[in-house]
Each structure stands twice: as C-alpha cells, then as structure tokens.
A and B are shown apart, each in its own frame.
Chain A
C-alpha cells in the first residue's frame, strides 16, 4: 500500500471501490458542470490501471486452475465434487470483500464510539462548570 506496509490485497479492493466512486463522482460533476478533461484523463488512467490489475488477478486464477491438479485440491480440502469446488472458489473470492466490509464497519463503529465519548466528556465538563458557577 505504502512503502513499508505489506498488503494481502484487501487494501487494493478498498482502492478498487474508491475508483468506482471516482467514476460516479465525475459523472455527477458533469451534471454539475464541475468536471473537465484533465480530471477525466486522470480517472481514465486509474481505471485502466485497475482493469490491468483485475485482468492479472483473473489470469492468475485461470492459470492456477489449469496448473494445479484436482487431486491436489481434494487432498487438502477433502472436497471432491464439482459443487464443492465451486463453493470453495466462491468462498476464496468473497473472503477479502467480507473482511473489507467488516473493517469498514469497524471503522464506522469506532468513529461513532469516539464521537459519543467526546460528547459525553463535553457534557460532563459542562455540568461540572455549571456546578462551579
């Protein structure tokens, strides 16, 4: 993510979502007449880079599927039906999204917690000031 910070790819999903937001935001900006060619060139470049990353991920998945014999997967997971493989693949695909959703939800909960606690501290301070007066 940043130099010195290792990543599993979950952070990249956060940035993929950011790019979708950027695209939507620029579309809204067109309506508001706030968008310009320079901004679109930037968004277009980031979409191209993101598309290349997604293409690379899909390509890797495809190659792995070809390269790893089914009996290897069966030996590890104990699943030997097509339906089972499909379930496993879906799980692997969705896990990072689920983790990201949990992280974003946790961030929101923390924000709420800090907001409420600072509000509580302020009200206590206000009360003690009033009692002093």
Chain B
C-alpha cells in the first residue's frame, strides 16, 4: 500500500471558532505535508472574527453550519457530513503538524481492526508557567505511559487535537458524541466497547497552543476532569470488561483521587498537626522520578535544558490539577451535578 496514494483518500477536518489568529498556520502545516491530504475542510462554527477568510486564504475549503453548534464535537460532526474519503483526520485549529505527521500516522490504519490512531503532542509555545507545566506532563505521558498502553493495544485516549479515523466506522458510530465534555475519550472507549482497536504513533508529532494563563488553563482542566468523570459514569460498565483498559482507568482514577486528597489536604494537615515542614516534601519528593523519563525524551529532542528548567512548573500544574479532579469527582459522581456548558480553553 503506497502512503502517497492512501493520503489521497484522506480528508482533514478542522473545527474552528474564533481562531483567526491560528487557523492559517494549521492549514499551511497540512498543505506542506510530505504526503498532502486530498482535502482540508475548516468548519467555521459561526465565528465572530475572520476565521473563515483566513482559512480560505490559506487554501482550505470552508463550511459553516446554519448556527453555532456550541461544541467542538458538534462542529466536527457537521464537517464529517462533507467527508466522502476512506480516512478522516481531526485536527484542532490551534495545532500544527510536523511535516511528516500524516505520513507517520496514516499507516497505523492499514491494520484491519484499527479504526483510529493518534500521535504525540508537544506544546508549541513553552514560555509561561502553565505552558511549561503542560510540556512536562506531555513529555512524561507520551514517553512513559502511552507507549506502554499502546503495547497492550489500549491507549487511554485518541487525542482530539490530532487523530485519524476510518470514515465508514466513524460514521457508523454516529461521529463524535456531545454527551460528555471529552468527546475524544468517549469515542475511543466506544471503539473499544465495539471491539475495534486504536493505536498511538509516537513518531507522528503535533504542536498545539496550550493555555498560556490560569484563566484559560482553568477552563481546559475543568472540561477535561469533568469529561473524564462523565466518561467513567457513561462507560464504566463496558470498560470494566476490557482487561487492560479497566486497569488503566481504575488505577488512574483512584490514584488521581488519592493524589488530590494527599496534596490538597493530607500534606498541609500533617504539617500543621506535627508543626513540621518535613511533610511539605511530599509535593516535590518525586521530582527525580518525574525528571528521569522527561529528560531522556527531552535529550532526544535536543530540549534538555528547556525541560530541566520547566520541571518546577509541573508541580504547580499538578497542584492545580488536583483541585479540578476532586471538584469534578464531587460534582459529577457524588452530587450528580453534570457540567454541560462547553467553554473553550483558549
């Protein structure tokens, strides 16, 4: 199977709402691929800026739904109705793809039962504390956790910012569902439930713009953590039957809750009770263990010093993550108070 021929059976869809500042770079990075796709469609979700004009000028076909769909999944589904190729790739409007991204990612779908594949993610800008914290999170996840999940053929999630799908199966599944705040996780777990496979291809790299300040980070983390809990509620009974995935989710969920309780309450309470700051060491005691895989990957990418100086930001972001995970757990699982309003991270 020639990759150049197969890429001509690929449509890339880009949902965009007020993305005039970034969508041009996204489209250009796709046009300049080593294996360009057949078509690039930008779904302008009734933006109030000139997203549509910028996308059109960059070389994409632009489609606009009759009214704002309100969610990324809604815009993607609208775009999916225009796709008639064998493969469809979904990319965020603030994400650029490495020159060989399509060439590296697409072959994962040549395997018969594989219906979706995702690549690595590295923040495009790494200036602020939040971007640097996320940079370390991604280096850790895409170097250590996700390749192991992939070995067992169960990546936890086919990331929404850079994934490719078999169109026929995606349409058969009803596209992206709007019932949770994490439509990509919902879709991935639905694939597993139906007996399909998903792959992670570390060599295919994408560069999204990550939240650069607390306000945007807050919105994204709220969406992610509520989305995770909503998916646990929605798919819990199904995924518990899928051996390795059940392990990842159960251990991940409980560990996240134990971590949140430990960092937000246990460490400060013990410090106060024993009047000894030694317990505050809990916040950074695993710094060398985090640094090891991160620096190995950063060295490969020739970003050693940048990663080393970014490690402290990771601990700040982790502390903030703890708050949002706990908040989502109580809201979604304990009080059954579902988050339904989709707020864009940036």
Contact = CB atoms under 8 A, between A and B. Distances in A.
Interface of A: 1-12, 14-15, 18-19, 22, 42-43, 46, 48-50, 52-53, 55-57, 59-60, 64, 68, 72, 75-76, 99-100, 103-104, 106-107, 110-111, 114-115
B21 to A, nearest CB: 23
B251 A68 contact: no
B241 interface: yes
Nearest to A112: B240
Question: What secondary structure prevails in chain A residues at the interface with B?
Answer: helix
Nearest to B220: A4
Question: What secondary structure prevails in chain B residues at the interface with A?
Answer: helix
Contact of B251 (A14, A22, A76): A14
B144 A2 contact: no
B209 interface: no
B278 A72 contact: yes
Contacts of B251: 10-11, 14, 100, 103-104
A22 B149 CA distance: 11
Interface in B167-212: none
A6 B259 contact: yes
5 pairs of A and B residues whose beta carbons are closest in the complex: A56-B288, A52-B292, A6-B259, A4-B224, A11-B255
A45 to B, nearest CB: 8
A54 B291 CA distance: 12
Contacts of B255: 1, 5-11
A100 to B, nearest CB: 7
A16 B88 CA distance: 35
Nearest to A6: B259
Given A8-B258, A11-B255, A99-B258, A42 B151 contact: yes
Contacts of A3: 134, 137-138, 141, 224
Q: Which of B134, B143, B221, B258 has the most CB of A within 10 A?
A: B258
Interface stretch (B26-34, B68-76, B317-325): B317-325
Contact of B250 (A5, A19, A49, A106): A106
A60 B259 contact: no
Interface in B260-290: 260, 262-263, 274, 276, 278, 281, 285-289
Contacts of B260: 6
B247 interface: yes
A111 B156 CA distance: 19
Interface string B134-177: 10011001011101100110001100000000000000000000
B59 interface: no
B147 A2 contact: no
Contact of B246 (A2, A22, A107): A107
- What range describes how many residues of B lie at the interface? 35 or more
Contacts of B240: 107, 110-111, 114
A43 B250 CA distance: 24
B322 A6 contact: yes
17 contacts: A1-B141, A4-B224, A6-B260, A6-B263, A10-B255, A15-B145, A18-B151, A46-B147, A46-B151, A52-B292, A53-B289, A56-B288, A72-B276, A76-B278, A99-B254, A110-B240, A114-B241
Nearest to B224: A4
B312 interface: no
A2 to B, nearest CB: 6
Contacts of A8: 255, 258-259, 262
Given A8-B258, A42-B151, A76-B278, 9 more contacts: A3-B137, A6-B318, A11-B252, A15-B148, A56-B292, A57-B288, A60-B285, A72-B278, A114-B237
A10 B256 CA distance: 9
Nearest to A75: B276
B114 interface: no
Contacts of B296: 48-49, 52
A103 B81 CA distance: 43
Contacts of A75: 274, 276
B51 interface: no
